[in-house]
Structure 1
Amino acid sequence: MNVRAPDHVFPSMDLFEIAGLPLHPLLVHAVVVLVPLTALALVLGALFPRVRRRLGVATPVAALLVLLLVPVTVFAGEALAEQVGPVPAVVHHAELGRMLWPWPLAMFVVAVVQWCWYRFGRAPGRAARTTIAALALLSGAGSTVMVVLIGEAGARAVWGG
């Protein structure tokens, strides 16, 4: 069964399918793994200079990947939700999913600022280091908590309970 979303919403339903299967469950697994790993790298890099030097540009690149992956996952989820219909648990999961994007955006900004500052600028003072660490912790924890809440709502939507 191939149901097409309106062209103004999703140009092609096939864009969100692989071999006729919805893309959303596959993308979700990438988000569930990458968001906490990126958050961990961001926080560790903010707290430990040695870790930050070892990670180098990997943290902002991972944050960019997450930032790009989240809207694609949301769009794929919305395409799948249109096929499923207005099930309350799915609607709740979708509402939570749309609330995720500001958190990875914050992680990306903090990761880029942190990397650029230490790579191209002078070592920041104590207040700036503390601010970067606090923002890293806040954005990383917020992203991870949102992923857990969204995932829990999605699991309930699929498996009931």
Structure 2
Amino acid sequence: MSLINGLPAHVLLVHVVVVLIPLTALALVTAALWPRAARRLGSLLPVLALAALISVPLTTQAGEWLERHVDNNALVRRHTELGDGLLPWALGVFVLAVVVWWTAGRAAAEPRQGGAAGRAALPVRIVVGVLSLAVALGAVVDVYRIGDSGAKAAWHDAYSQASTGPKSAS
């Protein structure tokens, strides 16, 4: 994908990533730490995570096309390098979203278990919660870093810090 309605596809698709990755990360952490939220989200959590995951390579591919059509400089190269690192984070968010969804579904299907079975589930929830928090945080920080580098690459020489004065109506 190269152009959408005459604009570079990357410029438009990046908004999908910027919205879906943090939104999915927030939903993942909430569901992982709050079982009731996981049950309420149901299959929406892995579907949202899958959409976020799919949006990353689409946006990256469109970015690679755009990279071949702009001036090559250190800022563009830095943005490209950072952008290539988001896919593993998005994959981690997706995998953990499926795990949280699956474990929440199993817990809801089984009657409340006391004793050894109930105690065994708590360490799993703690591990999944900690992993979810770590991966979600990593994904959101990476999106921020990539976006910041992209903004710098796009805007570093594209505006004047001094006002150019009022625009006259013609």
TM class by smaller structure: 0.7 to 0.9
Partner of 1:159: 155
Matched to 1:40, the amino acid is L
Does 2:130 align with 1:144? no
Matched to 1:74, the amino acid is T
Matched to 2:93, the amino acid is M
Measured after TM superposition, the shift of residue 57 of structure 1 is: 0.9
Measured after TM superposition, the shift of residue 99 of structure 1 is: 0.6
Partner of 1:134: 130
Matched to 1:120, the amino acid is R
Aligned identity (percent) is 47
Counterparts of 1:85 and 1:127, CA distance in 2: 52
After superposition, residues 42-121 of structure 1 pair within 5 angstroms as: 42-120=28-106
SS of corresponding position for 1:125 = helix
Counterparts of 1:82 and 1:125, CA distance in 2: 51
Partner of 1:21: 7
Partner of 1:10: none
Counterparts of 1:145 and 1:128, CA distance in 2: 26
**Aligned to 2:18, which of 32, 36, 41?**
32
SS of corresponding position for 1:86 = coil
Runs (4+) of structure 1 exceeding 4 A deviation are 121-124
Alignment RMSD (CA, Å): 1.5
Normalised by the size of structure 1, how large is the TM-score? 0.87
Measured after TM superposition, the shift of residue 70 of structure 1 is: 0.1
SS of corresponding position for 1:84 = coil
Counterparts of 2:56 and 2:72, CA distance in 1: 22
Ranges in structure 1 where 5+ consecutive residues have no aligned partner: 1-14
Q: How many residues align?
A: 147
Matched to 1:129, the amino acid is R
Normalised by the size of structure 2, how large is the TM-score? 0.82
Measured after TM superposition, the shift of residue 146 of structure 1 is: 0.2
